[in-house]
Structure 1
């Protein structure tokens, strides 16, 4: 089983681990692509104003430029601890016990625009780069889509894709039984469904934390739906969107 999470724009400062070394990251076949994004970001770092435009930063976010410039020597920490924001606040990884963190290391993957897929416990620095950022000579969607799709296509078992659509486009999960895309919805009094934003992220964080605490061995879509119901989550099959799209599951928040 793999749980795919989006990253967040915001990240925790600091870290006690050594600077980034690509050899410490999961999915080593992505190393060459990682080197290219790091080099492109380093090139962009020469011009602070150009970087702010490329990353769509406002004046109060100028410190993000310094973060990117200091990337080669910056300390690292586990990816699941590095990211903050609504989803990761609900997940609250630092408060997980050792068994839950070990399970996260085996199952949870965060999709970084800078580094591609990283394991939950992979040591990563603080940085600023989004799925729609513009790097010199490098289009992120074209750059990451095939390598990440190849990695995910080799993953056996259940894939639970909790990424935003922007990151799913950056590297689609395989379209096969056992690969599902989770969409968070709300249902009003008339039964009408609508997608959520803030509570979408919160629901995904709560769901991921519940999986890590319970540590179920889920191998199929049916097993996931049964476990979710027993764990108190309202989760059901969504509309089928054709043979070229992954099976969608709706998580009702």
Structure 2
């Protein structure tokens, strides 16, 4: 099983690991593109104003350019701990046990705009780059999408078994999953008191983080969709195959409508 997560704009500073070494990252076939993107970011970072425009930074976010300049020498930390924000706060990686961390490393990947797919425990530096960032103003320069789609697509196509895609649409577009059995993009929906469902917006990331945490805690390398759905049903999750002409083999995770402050949302998920 492979659980795909989006990254986060916000990241922890620092780390205790050695500087980035591409040879230590999982998904080795991505190394060439990783090096290409890193080189492009290094060139872009020499021009502060161009970087601010390319990264869509605000007037008080100039330190993000310095982060990118420091990538070659910056300390690293495991990917699941590097990212912060709603999804990763809900996942709460620092609280995972050693056994859970090992399971996550084998079964969870974050889709970074800088490094492509990285496993949960891969050592990564702090950086600033998004799926829609432009690495060069030069006409004809390849976009991140042109760089990543072929490479990440090949890696995912070669991955056997169940793939649970929790990425946002922007990151899913940087590496579409193959169209085959047991490969599913997950949508999170809210059900109101009248039974009607709609896309869950504000708490979508939190629900994904909590669900990923539950999968890590379960520690089961599900062989296929049926096993995942059986587990979800037994655990009280409303997870099902999407229906309709545009379902495309997706999964729907439905939670009750939440009003007010949701806390950890766990009661709503199950």
**1:9 aligned residue:** 9
In structure 2, list runs of 5 or more residues that go unmatched: 256-270
Tell me the equivalent position of 1:251.
253
Shift of 1:119: 0.5
CA contact (8 A) 1:240 1:247 kept: no
Q: Post-superposition, which runs of at least 4 consecutive aligned residues in structure 1 deviate over 6 A?
A: none
Q: What's 1:151 paired with?
A: 155
Equivalent pair of 2:52/2:62 in contact (CA under 8 Å) = yes
C-alpha displacement at 1:234, in angstroms?
Answer: 1.2
Partners of 1:49 and 1:138 in 2: CA distance:
20
8 Å CA contact 1:40–1:138 kept in 2: the answer is no
Corresponding residue of 1:93: 93
Secondary structure of the corresponding residue to residue 251 of structure 1? strand
Cα distance in 2, alignment partners of residues 225 and 191 from structure 1: 21
Partner of 1:77: 77
TM-score, reference length from structure 2: 0.90
Q: Report deviation, 1:199.
A: 1.0
Structure 2 equivalent of residue 215 of structure 1: 219
The CA RMSD measured in Å over matched residues stands at 1.2
TM-score, scaled relative to structure 1: 0.96
Q: Deviations over 1:127-182 (max 9, x none)?
A: 00000111112301111111101000000110000000111110011110010110
Q: For residues 46 and 77 of structure 1, what CA distance do their matches in structure 2 show?
A: 25
- Distance in 2, matches of 1:94 and 1:149, equals 30
Distance 1:240 1:29, change over 3 A: farther
**Is 1:140 the counterpart of 2:144 in the alignment?**
yes
Flag structure 1 segments of 5+ consecutive residues without an equivalent: none
User: 1: distance between equivalents of 2:183 and 2:46?
Assistant: 41
| Structure 1 residue 195: Cα displacement | 1.2
